[in-house]
Amino acid sequence: MIQPYASNLKHAAKENENFREVLFTGAHSQLVIMSIEPGDDIGLETHDNVDQILYAVDGEGSAILAGERFEFEKGDVVCVPAGTEHDIVNDGDEPLRLFTVYSPPQHAPGTIEHLKLAEPTPVARS
Closest by CA to 89, choosing from 53, 48, 45, is: 45
- Residue 97: closest CA among 24, 31, 10, 25: 10
pLDDT band at 116 (very low <50, low <70, confident <90, very high): confident
pTM assigned to the model = 0.90
Q: Where are the domains of the chain?
A: 29-106
Residues constituting the chain:
126
Question: For the domain 29-106, what is the CATH superfamily, name and number?
Answer: Jelly Rolls (2.60.120.10)
Asked whether 63 and 85 are in contact (CB, 8 A), the reply is no
Q: Where are the beta strands (DSSP E) in 6-111?
A: 20-25, 30-36, 51-58, 60-65, 68-73, 77-80, 86-90, 96-103
Question: Tens of pLDDT along 30-85?
Answer: 999 999 999 999 999 999 999 999 999 999 999 999 999 999 999 999 999 999 99
